[in-house]
A and B are shown apart, each in its own frame.
Chain A
Amino acid sequence: MNAPIPAAALTDPTVEPAPDAMLTVRIRRGDGFQAFTVARRSAQTILDVVTEIQREQDPTLAYRFACRVGMCGSCAMMVNGRPRWTCRTRVAAVAEEDGLTLEPLRNLPVVKDLAVDMEPFFEKWTAAHGAFEPGDAPPEDFAVVAPDSPERRAVDAGIECINCGVCYAACDVVAWNPDYLGPAALNRAWTLVNDVRDQGQAARLKAVSGDAGCQSCHTHMSCTEHCPKALAPTFAIAGLKRATARSALKRFGSRHFRRSA
């Protein structure tokens, strides 16, 4: 989904539609759906379709986008029941016999039509201690982190997240428990748990455990399957499960098996 469209694909019949081909697009607006008809075009993306509807047919349609090239993470929507970046999803790849169904991202409050309020998503980022904690007396010199150290590799695996909310919309646990921190926030926490410079690890591990934290993950793999950046929040959450378990065992051990002086 993320790969650039090769030149050869432009002659592909699935990319180059038949002349006069039309597409039925059902868009959720409030409680109901509204149907629009737009012309199929060459290498057309879902975002192209929504933009065409808003500019040519109904200027009151609300949606969100910025970069159009898969960098900003603001155009995600539910396309035929799956969360996707609309700018990097071609109509030809996802249209079904009866067209397209577009809905706002799941698990987030709707502002209007296809635009959702991302506030809860970013609040959880903060709740999971998603900010670097330098400590009270950070060292004055640069820290040396070997690029091939296991910790640095673990950080690399999850650092490319751009907060598009696709994993959050894909997650069933968020749908069941609105307090659940969600894959993106936990993935961010895991990158910081592996940051050897960070001084806030105990508080972070406490924040990501418990009923709303990593232990609630059911390993459905939805976040990992849908992530447009091909990240694997499931494995980040599994890492947090191991880290929180290890820290709990250490605390238990030091409390009950401490060597008496």
Chain B
Amino acid sequence: MGNFEPKIVAFLCNWCAYAGADLAGVSRLQYPPNMRTVRVMCSGRVDPVFIIKAFKQGCDGVLVAG
């Protein structure tokens, strides 16, 4: 497991978490490069099926932030 690099899908709310992720960039905060963002208009848009489908296709982690 030493070289394990998880693939993480992040569903981020446009109004808060996505803006927060942008601000992390402007502030040059550093975090591991394993996350890929999918922007949604509200974290409430995330159907639980999306999460299951992501896992089913081999995703290691799903982050829903909003």
| A joins B in a complex | no
Chain B residues near A (Cβ < 8 Å): none
